[in-house]
């Protein structure tokens, strides 16, 4: 599942008023305390439902387009060895779904074998994993 990249900034908590701050300090394996684990993935869009064309937030999802998706700390999963669900496998088509536009879905192909750790893709991601 994905959300527009514009929501990326709003998912970062404010440490000055965040009551979870003490929990992060006590638990070093908590992804919130390990922002260095964030990464980005580039996908080539193979197939897109018509509903994606109706929502301006998902206009980057066009067949043949390359999009960048960021895996932020809030979406990291311990059971996936600190990866995001849905980051795909290089060379294999996988599915995506838009969280706030339920009829927007499709298939994409991860374009790079390596995961991008703070490169150009991460500077302005098109989408974020949920």
Give tens-digit pLDDT for 49-99. 999 988 889 999 999 999 999 998 888 888 888 889 888 887 889 999 999
Sheet holding 93-97, edge to edge: 2-4, 127-129, 66-71, 39-48, 105-110, 93-97
State how many domains the chain has: 1
Domain interval for residue 122: 2-11+20-129
Whether pTM exceeds 0.95: no
What 3-state class would DSSP assign to 94?
strand
Task: Tell me how far apart the alpha carbons of residues 116 and 97 are, in angstroms, rounded to a whole number.
Answer: 22
Select from 108, 31, 16 the least CA-distant residue to 72. Answer: 31
């Amino acid at each position: 599942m994905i959300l527009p990249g514009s929501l990326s900034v709003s998912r970062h908590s404010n440490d000055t008023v965040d009551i979870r701050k003490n929990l992060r300090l006590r638990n070093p394996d908590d992804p919130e305390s390990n922002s260095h684990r964030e990464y980005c993935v580039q996908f080539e869009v193979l197939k897109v439902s018509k509903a994606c064309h109706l929502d301006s937030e998902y206009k980057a999802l066009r067949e043949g387009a390359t999009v960048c998706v960021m895996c932020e700390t809030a979406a990291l999963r311990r059971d996936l060895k600190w990866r995001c669900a849905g980051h795909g496998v290089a060379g294999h088509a996988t599915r995506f779904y838009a969280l706030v536009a339920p009829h927007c879905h499709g298939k994409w192909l991860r374009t790079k074998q390596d995961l991008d750790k703070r490169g150009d893709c991460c500077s302005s991601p098109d989408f974020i994993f949920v």
